[in-house]
């Protein structure tokens, strides 16, 4: 993993559960070694670790992989899978320009320090949404964006994955304050665009930490 001028276009969030009987220092060491291998895959620009302990019942930790291309992303993911942690969720997509605003919808920067929390969820629009005139959809997306502008302390990553995953988009948010992020989502629920959301679960909240901090959380006895 090395510094780069260009922001990565491919992001993936891999959530894993520790299988029964494997909350051991042996597993912790395997995760540590795998992360080193994954970080050194050419084309991988960022690799961050998170704890989901107590916030989800189906996983314990999360890795955020940022890469220039899908094959690099996959190679990094392969190293993490080789730990025999049990994969719970894989959410991925690419940064693209919005057909409504021409902008990417992504404010996250690799070089910035990570915030305390990450929230990731996928979403899909209804059939009705796509039958609306483009201009009407654009108007609603601009209202939607305006609500977000009141929350400038929250960074957004908007990933396109229509036709490539079980959902159309994956969104990631970085925040230092979970209640403040919750306020943002609550405000969004009353926008005109909201009823055109078909599905937006699972919603996965994770706490940022260095690898050692996350391993200390997930493997408390080691």
Nearer residue to a copy of itself within complex by CB, 108 or 154: 154
In angstroms, what is the minimal distance from the CB of 208 to a copy of itself? 11
In angstroms, what is the minimal distance from the CB of 85 to a copy of itself? 9
Choice from 27, 49, 106, 205 touching a copy of itself (CB under 8 A): 205
The string over 74-103, giving b where at least 16 C-beta atoms fall within 10 Å of a residue's C-beta and e elsewhere, is: bbbbebbbebebbebbebbbbbeeeebeee
54 Cβ partners below 8 Å, 6+ apart? Answer: none
Site membership for a copy of itself, residue 210 (CB under 8 A): no
Site membership for a copy of itself, residue 102 (CB under 8 A): no
In angstroms, what is the minimal distance from the CB of 142 to a copy of itself? 18
Residues 10-69 contacting a copy of itself, CB under 8 A:
12, 14-15, 18-21, 23, 37, 51, 53-58, 60, 65
Site membership for a copy of itself, residue 112 (CB under 8 A): no
Element of type H or E holding 71:
helix 70-81
Determine the Cα angle at 170 with ends 116 and 31, to 5°: 55
In angstroms, what is the minimal distance from the CB of 109 to a copy of itself? 22
Structure token pair of residue 206: 């994770």
Residues 138-177 contacting a copy of itself, CB under 8 A:
160-166
* Residue in the structure block whose two tokens are 């996928």: 122
Site membership for a copy of itself, residue 82 (CB under 8 A): yes
Nearest to 115 by CA among 188, 168, 181, 20: 181
């Amino acid at each position: 993993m090395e510094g780069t001028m260009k922001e990565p276009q491919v992001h993936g969030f891999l959530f894993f559960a520790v299988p029964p009987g494997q909350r051991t220092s042996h597993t912790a060491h395997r995760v540590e070694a795998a992360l080193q291998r994954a970080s050194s895959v050419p084309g991988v620009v960022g690799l961050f670790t998170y704890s989901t302990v107590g916030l989800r019942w189906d996983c314990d930790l999360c890795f955020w992989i940022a890469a220039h291309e899908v094959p690099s992303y996959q190679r990094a993911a392969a190293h993490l899978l080789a730990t025999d942690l049990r994969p719970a969720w894989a959410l991925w997509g690419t940064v693209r320009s919005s057909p409504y605003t021409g902008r990417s919808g992504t404010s996250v920067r690799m070089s910035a320090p990570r915030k305390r929390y990450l929230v990731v969820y996928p979403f899909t629009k209804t059939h009705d949404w796509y039958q609306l005139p483009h201009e009407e959809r654009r108007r609603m997306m601009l209202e939607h964006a305006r609500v977000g502008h009141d929350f400038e302390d929250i960074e957004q990553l908007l990933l396109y994955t229509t036709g490539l995953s079980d959902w159309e988009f994956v969104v990631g948010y970085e925040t230092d304050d979970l209640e403040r992020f919750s306020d943002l989502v609550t405000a969004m629920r009353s926008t005109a665009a909201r009823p055109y959301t078909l599905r937006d679960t699972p919603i996965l909240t994770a706490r940022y930490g260095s690898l050692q901090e996350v391993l200390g959380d997930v493997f408390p006895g080691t």
